[in-house]
Amino acid sequence: MKQIYLAAIFACTGTVGQAACATNLQTFLSCEVGRSGKVLNVCFDDTIITYSFGRPGAPDLGLAETIADIDYTPWPGVGRSIWEEVRFENGEYSYITHAGFERMLGDETDEDNTDTHFGGVVVERGGDVIADLQCTPGTVDAPWGQELFLAKEAAGLTWDFGAREWQKTNE
C-alpha cells in the first residue's frame, strides 16, 4: 500500500532555506536540518501523509502512509509548548516527527520570543534512539491547526484524550 503513494512524496519542493510541501498538500512540518543541506518535509492531504528527508528534490528517504493508519498524537492541551507528533514506521525503524511552537506568556512580546517554532525527527531502531535531528531555527514551517486532526476524524477515527489513542468511531 505504501508503494502506491510514493509519487506524492516527491511532490515536495523547495531548496535549502525554502523547504516546502507541494501546493496540493498541507504542511505538517517543513524545515532545514542542521547545516547538512538536507530538508525534512511531512506533508498531507485528506487521504495520505508523507515523510521526506534529504536533499531538496532528491530525498534520501521517502515514506507514505494513509491518514487512517498513521500514528498521530495531537497536542494534549496543556503546557507552554503546543506540539504534535507523527510516527512513521519502516521495518525495524521508526521516524518520530514533531512540530510545534512556544506560546508567549504574560508580558512577553514577539521581540522577547523571536523564534517560537520548532520541529525535528527522532529515528529509532528496535526502540533505541539512533538519531535525534532538530530543525534549524528560523527555517521551521509548522502551521499548527486542526487539519490533520480533522482528516483523522474524516477517516472514521476519534481521539480518546484519556487513553491517548485513536479509536474507530462507532457508527
| Per-residue pLDDT reduced to its tens digit, 48-62 | 999 999 998 889 999
Question: Would the pLDDT of 104 be above 80?
Answer: no
Report the pLDDT value the prediction gives residue 171, as an integer from 0 to 100: 55
Which residue type occupies 23? Answer: T
Cβ atoms < 10 Å from Cβ of 7: 11
Beta-strand ranges (E) seen in the chain are 26-33, 38-44, 48-55, 58-66, 71-73, 81-90, 93-102, 117-125, 128-134, 157-160, 165-168
Question: Would the pLDDT of 105 be above 80?
Answer: no
Report the pLDDT value the prediction gives residue 46, as an integer from 0 to 100: 93
Domain range summary for the chain, segments of one domain joined by +: 2-158
The lowest-confidence range among 5-14, 66-75, 89-98 is 5-14
